Each structure stands twice: as structure tokens, then as C-alpha cells.
Amino acid sequence: MGNSPASATPVNKDASEWRAILSPEQFRILREKGTEPAGTGEYDKHYEAGVYECAGCGTALYRSTTKFKSGCGWPAFYDAIPGAVNRHDDVSFGMTRTEITCANCGGHLGHVFKGEGFPTPTDERHCVNSISLKFADDKNKA
């Protein structure tokens, strides 16, 4: 599994270093705050047991136990691993939203929405781009 937020050393790479390790689409989303089209990501309907890590730096971000079916077209989680995700105000597109980024490398994950009425413990939906994630299943744990 990847880095834990408590022990992680923040990753600070310039654009050329990120381009060398990320695919063009990963770079567009993680580093340029893009969005993948709804319903196209590999983790939208993925429900295996394990941990979702940052595709940029490997930091553990979400446990599969917090993933739920929201029908929004992107992977949805009701909570992140403590300390793994940062929140920022995003005022693009003429509205205020809450952007979520990897606390270790600053990679763009998506946005968090509150008060939508989903039957989850937090009443939040972390709407995450699949391409921002990689999955580590529980079978690989010792």
C-alpha cells in the first residue's frame, strides 16, 4: 500500500517531473484540475474491498468501506482517511464548490458535496475522478 498521511513526506514536483510519471489524462486531471466524463471511470462501479490511493503519489485516500452508490457517474465516498485529503474553496464556473486534493502531493481529486440526503454517516459525497485513484485490494495485505 502507499504512504500513510501521518508519515508521508509532501511531494513537490514541477510540471515536467509530473508529466514524466503521469499519463496525459492523469496530468490533465491531477495537475490541471480537469474532470473525466461522467460514467467513464474504472472505479465508478467498483466495489471490491481495499484502499483507494492517489494515482500521483500512492498516498492512501479512501477505504472501500466508505464508498457508496450515488448514481452521479463518478466514484463516491462519504469520508476520507483522516488527514489524507485537503479541502479548498473552488469558485470556478460561477459557483462555489469545495475542491478536494491529495494532502501529500496536492493532486486534484474532485469535489465534495454536502446535504444531498444520501443515507451515509456524514451526509457528504466525495465525488472523485477515477483517474485520480489507484486501487489496492485487501488480498495484497500481509
List the one residue out of 7, 27, 25, 3 whose CA is nearest residue 17.
Answer: 27
List the one residue out of 131, 127, 134, 129 whose CA is nearest residue 69.
Answer: 127
Residue among 54, 57, 105, 127 flagged as catalytic: 127
Q: Which residue has the cell 495537475?
A: 31
Q: Which three cell numbers stand for residue 83?
A: 488527514
Between strands 67-68 and 76-77, the pairing is: antiparallel
What stretch of H or E contains 124?
Answer: strand 124-128
List the one residue out of 105, 53, 107 whose CA is nearest residue 77.
Answer: 53
Task: Give yes or no: 127 in active site.
Answer: yes
Residue 36 φ/ψ, nearest 5 degrees: -80, 150
Tell me the catalytic residues. Answer: 127
